[in-house]
Structure 1
Amino acid sequence: MANHSDVSTADQTIVRLPSPQKLEFSASPPRILIIGAGNRGVTYARAIKNTSNGVVAGVVEPITLKRQHIGRTYIWGKREPLEGEEFEDYRQYVSWELKRRKRAAAGEEVPEGVDAAFICVQDSMHREVVEALAPLNLHIMCEKPLAPTLEDCVGIYKSILPNRDVQPTRLFAVGQVLRYTPHNMLLRELLREDKVIGEIMAVHHVEPVGWNHFVHSFVRGNWRKESVSSPSLLAKCCHDIDLLYWLIAAPAPGSNIPAHVPKDISSSGSLQYFRRNRKPAEAGAATNCLSCAFEPKCQFSAKRIYTASYLAGPNQEGWKRVVCPEIEECVTAGRPEAAQQALLERLCQDYGDETPVHEVGQRQWYGRCVYETDNDVCDNQTVTLAWEDEPVADGEASLESLADRSSKTATLQMVAFSKKICRRSTSIYGTHGEIQTDGACIIVQDFSTGQKKSHYPHVAQDDSHEDGDEGLTRAFLLAIDRIKNHGVSVTDAQRENIGCSLSDIIMGHALVFAAEKARKSKTVVDFPDWLRKEMFQGF
């Protein structure tokens, strides 16, 4: 909280904090391979360039246009790509890298290798990519969720750390970017270190997905169907659950105090709206927006979502590239009319009774009527976590840390229908005060004095993750740099820079899987008991 500026009045103090500074380059900066050149791959490549002390050295992507976009923007520019800078799939890269190392050992002059990989492929591929990279011993940042099943999460854990009694030899991080926003890092400091509201009693956290974002990603897009992706709670809110656990229950990095896990987990939710019986009568039998008479009036018109000027912005531009990768080539070539035509042609694509079922499930149909898709994930869900008092043994903790292990509840509400897109809000109630946050400002109200203190951390206006993408990238690359150039151990860099262990990462995901168990079985899950039966037996 250093270098901040304060403005005080009789009953209020306003604190404004500066933006984080870009890291200085070392003589041998971290070199990063991006595996998966979709929206998340592009986001991390941009974060590496803008805020870190690393360089994007290579890209792995089967779709040529996506691969070339990252290459031309962040790696080779206007020249032709060199050996080791682009690969069509991760197997091709692993094969090349193993041969490169043999060539280097034989004294041959070879391209420089990479230090780490950012894995940004589809969720169901995470385990296979992590396991394929295991022989290379690269540092890994894997996009969230870690995997769509608990079994795969445990499998990843074992591939990274086969022997739990041996210290890890490489860094591992997951894209739980909410831990790394300036806003949330300050919030945790205020709650856990400064204890500005005393003991935490209750938390209510809202994730407003955004009506158009939900339609793009969870009705028409990659995460619309649980059988080919994952539940929306895992795909969209695993880092919200992780955030709640980290803010109010997770032990400090390196602490010998055991994790304070919830005792009970309950959840309710369903696919409320995007179903065939909600379809307006005027839409008739139409299955595609561009051939529907109701389209001009429809809020969910694909044409409207991807072209309307009032929705224009970074999100819409990113969605256009997802729908129609070739649009990038048209824009680069200065042909906006061709870009618009290519987009509309892609939106016209549809499936019918004659389309093979496999093709329907594996492709995305971004022009499909939202009431006629094959989506089945929740568009509204609530999760409640309840902790019990859990003191530790005498001599293991201070009175301050004992307060962190008191009973409390936390509620997450995922809402599809909102104007805000991922601009989360959190209310935290303590014994001595309360905190209201909206991602931009943290307002602390002191019950005893009546004083109000407003904190304004740096927030990038065009980043729905509130600088979390850049924060995670900075932390991960700084950890690599300290290991590579300054002799810091992997264990210390993991603890001091990344701030969470692999076990911590798994815990955040386990809470989500338990919540889904509670929702589907309509029961309250005894989490410690569930954890023993479902997770620990995997080790």
Structure 2
Amino acid sequence: MIKAALLGAGRRGMYAYASYALKRPDEIQFIAVAEPDEERRALFARLHSIPTEMQFTSWEEMLQQPQLCEVLLICTQDRQHFEPAMKALEQGYHILLEKPMSPEPLETIRLAEEAEKKQQILSVCHVSRYDTYYSALKEVLDKGVIGKVMSVQWTENVGFWHQAHSFVRGNWRNSDETSSMILQKSCHDMDMLQWFIGGKCLEVSSYGKLSYFRPENAPAGSTERCTDGCAVEHECPYSAIKHYHNEKTNSFPMVVSPIPTLEARMKAIQEGPYGRCVFHCDNNVVDHQVVNMYFDNEVTVSFTMSAFTAENTRTFKFMGTAGEIRGHHENNEIEINYFSGRKEIIRPERFEGGHGGADYLTMRDFIRQVQSKELDGKTSASVSARGHIMAFAAEHSRLTGRNVNLDSYIEELQNNQVLA
């Protein structure tokens, strides 16, 4: 049985990944946790029967100890990924690292290089690759049923409520504290696109803005908080009272208040970040962005990320020389339209759990990888780093207004580091 430790007992660390140990205690056991929030730390320790001496208040405190176990899960905030991961590789841990690897492009490359140098497993949580829906899509594409893929349209429909929760009020609202929207939300998309297309992305161009969730767009009568007597709160689709002060049991109210009572939730939105008006937050990440990509196998891709959607899902169209494939992730349908006139619908098997069971399957695959000591996994750092660089280059293009050649971009980053 594998012994493991967790850095960061937030929603992803505690429920998406570590909960696997509660279902499969014969495969993995958590023997230590590092988490600054006392309540979350105590809850995780209680769930996994972790003694007091193995509960730490920070990743620094844990990694000051001699190596505690074989495996480390790093699920801290974005800007607390690189340092603990490098330290853990130095100590000899095999690592499952929450995405993004780092908000800095050179740190992403260094992590991949260090894992290869140390010959240790560093797997990145690109859970979408484990989603049975996308695995089925990959199988269809690899069979070549629509001939050679020439063009792809891919849309990430963020969902108006999800944008407000995570990227206006929540943890990933400000790139100065975390990372850019294209990296944090869409590095999954960059990773999957290179996986599906099977080529190397050569160039990107991108446009995008924070256009709507700004103070000047606040409606007349609005207040700093939804609970401050806002005159338009009842009609506002972003009302914190509507979204959080209700009997729903999904994960978003749990983030607002770990205590599930309505009284606790009301107190949280009266005092905490999730009760703020969406037009009066300290957010700076974009609310819509497009990225165009060109691959070395001559495939062109148009990617759109938008907050202004009713659904929270991904939709796409792959256009090939013998047909096209359309998809809608939430509907669990892959539609193949052959140019001969035949149509085929595939509905992949679904697993229980987060991200259509992909969180569970990510942990299962990582455990098997550790057991077999296989360094080149499905989402290894070397594979993930290239997708990250696509996102970094897209953001660079958005900010500069220029097309970006990825190889030149990497070379420029490395040269600037030497000069610095």
* TM-score between the two structures when normalised by the length of structure 2: 0.92
Deviation at 1:231, TM superposition (A): 1.0
Matches within 5 A, 1:436-455: 436-439=326-329, 440-448=332-340, 450-455=341-346
Corresponding position of 1:242: 191
Deviation at 1:481, TM superposition (A): 1.9
Distance of 2:92 and 2:38 partners within structure 1: 28
Counterpart contact for 1:119–1:126, Cα < 8 Å:
yes
1:195 aligns with 2:144: yes
Corresponding position of 2:320: 430
Corresponding position of 1:322: 255
* TM-score between the two structures when normalised by the length of structure 1: 0.72
Corresponding position of 2:228: 291
CA distance 1:322–1:521, change in 2 (3 Å): same
1:528 aligns with 2:419: no
Corresponding position of 1:271: 210
Corresponding position of 1:509: 388
CA distance 1:479–1:204, change in 2 (3 Å): same
Deviation at 1:537, TM superposition (A): 7.7
Counterpart contact for 1:154–1:538, Cα < 8 Å:
no
Deviation at 1:67, TM superposition (A): 1.4
- Choose which of 116, 126, 132 in structure 1 pairs with 2:71: 116
- Choose which of 29, 32, 40 in structure 2 pairs with 1:58: 32
Counterpart contact for 1:443–1:455, Cα < 8 Å:
yes
1:478 aligns with 2:368: yes
Deviation at 1:227, TM superposition (A): 1.0
Distance of 1:518 and 1:340 partners within structure 2: 45
Counterpart contact for 2:197–2:299, Cα < 8 Å:
no
After superposition, the C-alpha distances for 1:130-187 in whole angstroms (9 at most, x for unaligned) are 12213321110110011111122133234434x4xxxx43111111111111121221
- Choose which of 55, 58, 64 in structure 2 pairs with 1:86: 55
SS of the residue corresponding to residue 218 of structure 1 reads helix
Counterpart residue identity of residue 131, structure 1: M
Matches within 5 A, 1:67-216: 67-73=41-47, 75-76=48-49, 81-82=50-51, 85-98=54-67, 113-161=68-116, 163=117, 168-192=118-142, 194-216=143-165
Distance of 1:500 and 1:375 partners within structure 2: 30
Distance of 2:52 and 2:226 partners within structure 1: 44
- Choose which of 235, 244, 263 in structure 2 pairs with 1:306: 244
CA distance 1:31–1:453, change in 2 (3 Å): farther
Counterpart residue identity of residue 216, structure 2: N
After superposition, the C-alpha distances for 1:211-234 in whole angstroms (9 at most, x for unaligned) are 111111111111111111111111
CA distance 1:432–1:313, change in 2 (3 Å): farther
1:36 aligns with 2:5: no
Counterpart contact for 1:271–1:376, Cα < 8 Å:
yes
Corresponding position of 1:9: none
Distance of 2:406 and 2:114 partners within structure 1: 25
CA distance 1:48–1:432, change in 2 (3 Å): farther
Distance of 1:519 and 1:375 partners within structure 2: 18
Counterpart contact for 1:115–1:139, Cα < 8 Å:
yes
Matches within 5 A, 1:335-484: 339-349=261-271, 365-388=273-296, 405=297, 407-421=298-312, 423-439=313-329, 440-448=332-340, 450-460=341-351, 463=354, 465-483=355-373
After superposition, the C-alpha distances for 1:101-140 in whole angstroms (9 at most, x for unaligned) are xxxxxxxxxxxx4221110000001011112213321110
Corresponding position of 1:253: none
CA distance 1:156–1:499, change in 2 (3 Å): same
Over alpha carbons, which structure has the higher Rg? Answer: 1
Corresponding position of 1:494: 375
Distance of 2:370 and 2:113 partners within structure 1: 22
SS of the residue corresponding to residue 273 of structure 1 reads coil
Counterpart residue identity of residue 419, structure 1: A
Deviation at 1:457, TM superposition (A): 1.6
- 215-224 vs 523-532, which deviates more? 523-532
Counterpart contact for 1:51–1:470, Cα < 8 Å:
no
Distance of 2:338 and 2:24 partners within structure 1: 36
Which consecutive unaligned segments of at least 5 residues does structure 1 have?
A: 1-28, 99-112, 250-259, 332-338, 350-363, 389-404, 484-492
Counterpart residue identity of residue 150, structure 1: P
Which consecutive unaligned segments of at least 5 residues does structure 2 have?
A: none
Deviation at 1:198, TM superposition (A): 0.9
RMSD, aligned α-carbons: 2.2
CA distance 1:210–1:462, change in 2 (3 Å): farther
CA distance 1:432–1:148, change in 2 (3 Å): same
Corresponding position of 1:18: none
Counterpart contact for 2:4–2:73, Cα < 8 Å:
yes
Distance of 1:320 and 1:308 partners within structure 2: 8
SS of the residue corresponding to residue 206 of structure 2 reads strand
Counterpart residue identity of residue 170, structure 1: Q
Deviation at 1:472, TM superposition (A): 1.5
